[in-house]
Structure 1
Amino acid sequence: MSTWDRIDRFEGDPLDTSLWVPDYLPHWTTPERSGARYRFVGGGIELLIEHDQHAWRPEDGDFRVSHLQTGEFAGPLGSAVGQHRIGRDLRVVTERTMRRLWAPPRAGAVEVVASASADPTCMLGIWLVGHESTGPDDSGEICVAEVFGDKVTAASSVIRAGIKAHHDPRLVSDLRDVVLAMDATEPHTYGAAWDSEGVRISVDGVEIYGTDQVLGYPLQLMLDLWEFPHGRRDPAGYPKSAVIREVRLRTDD
Structure 2
Amino acid sequence: MTLRPPELPRPGEPFPPAPGRAPDVEDEFVGGRLRDDLWVAEYLPQWTVAERSGARWAAAGASGVRLLIEEDQLDWREEDAPLRVSNLQTAVFSGAIGTSRGTHRHRPDLTVRTDVGERLLWAPTAGRVDVTVSASVDEGCMLAVWLVGVEEESPRDSGEICVFEIDASAVRGGAASDDTAAASSVTARCGLKAHGDDRLETDMRAVSVAVDAAGPHTWSVLWGPAGTVIGCEGRVVYSSAQAPDYRLQLMIDLFELGGRSEAAAYPKSAVVHAVRGWSGG
Q: TM-score per shorter chain, which class? A: over 0.9
Give the CA deviation at 1:24.
Answer: 0.2
Computing the radius of gyration from Cα coordinates, the structure with the larger value is 2
Matched AA of 2:73: Q
User: Is residue 17 from structure 1 mapped to residue 36 from structure 2 by the alignment?
Assistant: yes
Matched AA of 1:245: H
Deviations 1:99-146 (A, max 9, x none): 110001x31110000000122300001000001112100000000010
User: Is residue 137 from structure 1 mapped to residue 156 from structure 2 by the alignment?
Assistant: yes
Given that 2:42 and 2:55 are in contact with CA atoms closer than 8 Å, whether structure 1 keeps it comes out as yes
Given that 2:33 and 2:59 are in contact with CA atoms closer than 8 Å, whether structure 1 keeps it comes out as no
Give the CA deviation at 1:158.
Answer: 0.8
Given that 2:91 and 2:249 are in contact with CA atoms closer than 8 Å, whether structure 1 keeps it comes out as yes
Q: Which runs of 4+ in 1 moved over 4 A?
A: none
User: Is residue 222 from structure 1 mapped to residue 247 from structure 2 by the alignment?
Assistant: no
Give the CA deviation at 1:155.
Answer: 3.0
User: Is residue 252 from structure 1 mapped to residue 280 from structure 2 by the alignment?
Assistant: yes
Structure 1, unaligned stretches of length 5 or more?
none
User: Is residue 49 from structure 1 mapped to residue 69 from structure 2 by the alignment?
Assistant: yes
Given that 1:74 and 1:96 are in contact with CA atoms closer than 8 Å, whether structure 2 keeps it comes out as yes
How many matched pairs?
Answer: 251
Map of 1:27 onto structure 2? 46
Given that 1:60 and 1:87 are in contact with CA atoms closer than 8 Å, whether structure 2 keeps it comes out as no
Moved more, 190-199 or 81-90: 81-90
Report the TM-score, using the length of structure 2 for normalisation.
0.86
Match 1:122 to one of 109, 130, 141: 141
Given that 1:51 and 1:235 are in contact with CA atoms closer than 8 Å, whether structure 2 keeps it comes out as no
Matched AA of 2:267: P
Give the CA deviation at 1:12.
Answer: 2.2
Give the CA deviation at 1:14.
Answer: 3.9
Give the CA deviation at 1:97.
Answer: 2.5
User: Is residue 74 from structure 1 mapped to residue 94 from structure 2 by the alignment?
Assistant: yes
Structure 2, unaligned stretches of length 5 or more?
1-17, 173-182
Report the TM-score, using the length of structure 1 for normalisation.
0.95
Give the CA deviation at 1:58.
Answer: 1.7
Give the CA deviation at 1:235.
Answer: 7.0
Q: How does 1:1-253 map to 2 (within 5 A)?
A: 1-2=18-19, 3=21, 4-12=23-31, 14-42=33-61, 43-87=63-107, 89-104=109-124, 106-153=125-172, 154-230=183-259, 232-234=260-262, 237-252=265-280
Identical residues among aligned pairs (%): 48
Compared CA separation, residues 61 and 13, structure 1 to 2 (3 A): closer
Give the CA deviation at 1:233.
Answer: 2.3
Matched AA of 1:37: R
Distance in structure 2 (CA, Å) of the matches to 1:97 and 1:90: 17
Distance in structure 1 (CA, Å) of the matches to 2:222 and 2:279: 10
Question: SS of 1:237's equivalent?
Answer: coil
Distance in structure 1 (CA, Å) of the matches to 2:40 and 2:263: 28
Map of 2:177 onto structure 1? none
Give the CA deviation at 1:95.
Answer: 1.1
